[in-house]
Amino acid sequence: MFSLCILVPLCLLEWWMRQPASSKMANKAVYLKEDIADCEALVLGCSHAQTSLNPQLFSQHGLNFSSDAQPYYYSYKFLETYLPRMDRLRTVIIPATYFFFFYKPEQVQEFLYSAHWGLLPQRALEIEDYSALFAHGIWASILNVFGEREHFVLENGWERAERVFDGSSENTKKRIGYLHDVMADSLLDQNIQWFNHLVKICLDHNIRVIVFLPPMSKEMNHQLETDIYRSQIQDYYATLRQNPAISFYDFNNNEIFADSLFCDPDHLNVQGANLLSNMMKDKLEIISGMSFPNQNQLF
């Protein structure tokens, strides 16, 4: 009887977390069945891509499969898993957000990527991890029923964010503090390796790669000027910039992206997303007319 009391809630929780209404990842899973074979431009990566790139504004058929705090391991695994079904794929777009070169997946993520997108977990889910899943499921349910969450609309995988960032120094400090809590120096080499695998699998299949630095608010850039993690990734950015097989773009420009175009210190709102998506559309059209790199130029 005791075992039933434990197993039944866990089974119900797993069933609920697999439903499309339970999360953005579950919602996007619909595209795996309906649209993925027609996709020509694929967006992967973290929430900096999820809120900033609307594929409906591209001239090519695009899908946005970025997600909140998506580790580069899962960006790579998505390609490895679904490339055989994506004969029309020509370009992969991914942000090189430096936070996530120091990031390790959370327990809940290991479950969600497996449950919704069929991706092999980076590590096996252990029984104690279900306590984290249980807490996540309960909290998500409470927010869905009682919370005042900003309504999100997914259009080809893009998340619409309506808020306007007030430029608050205090909110920016809290955001950076949260990021530092989930980052560690020891993870840099591992995450660079997964990013390299992602780029290589694209180039091996004659798929172009666009790597971009996402915009951040003026206050965010100011507070990160002396951030030790940011300085550690600069050499790798230089390597990406110099690689002729990669189209590397730095969109972190406060002359173009004013604070009014952000919903928080480091995510664009609808107006900012429209601007960046149209800029990316122009980049896609430029590289589509370029010859593919020679094999001796490949990553």
CATH number at residue 95: 3.40.50.1110
Residue-wise pLDDT tens for the chain (299 aa)?
555 555 445 444 444 444 444 467 888 888 888 789 999 999 999 999 999 999 999 999 999 999 999 999 999 999 999 999 999 999 999 999 999 999 987 777 778 888 889 998 886 655 555 555 545 554 454 445 444 444 444 678 999 999 999 999 999 999 999 999 999 999 999 999 999 999 999 999 999 999 999 999 999 999 999 999 999 999 999 999 999 999 999 999 999 999 999 999 999 999 999 999 999 999 999 998 777 766 555 55
Using alpha carbons, select from 277, 210, 279 the residue that is nearest to residue 45.
Answer: 210
- Please classify residue 84 by burial: count the beta carbons closer than 10 Å to its beta carbon, then call 0-12 exposed, 13-18 middle and 19+ buried: exposed
Owning domain of residue 275: 2-297
Contact of 78 with 117, CB cutoff 8 Å? yes
DSSP code, position 60:
S
Global pTM value: 0.85
What separation, in Å, do the N-terminal and C-terminal C-alpha atoms of the chain show? 57
How confident is the model at residue 8, as a pLDDT?
A: 47
What letter would DSSP give residue 269?
-
Per the structure block, which two tokens stand in for 85?
Answer: 């079904």
Strand 62-64 to 41-43 pairing? parallel
- pLDDT in the model for residue 125: 55
Q: Is 258 exposed, middle or buried (0-12, 13-18, 19+ CB in 10 A)?
A: middle
What lies within 8 Å, CB to CB, of 74 at 6+ separation is: 67, 105, 109, 113, 119, 122
Element housing 41 (H / E)? strand 41-43
Q: In the chain, how many domains are there?
A: 1
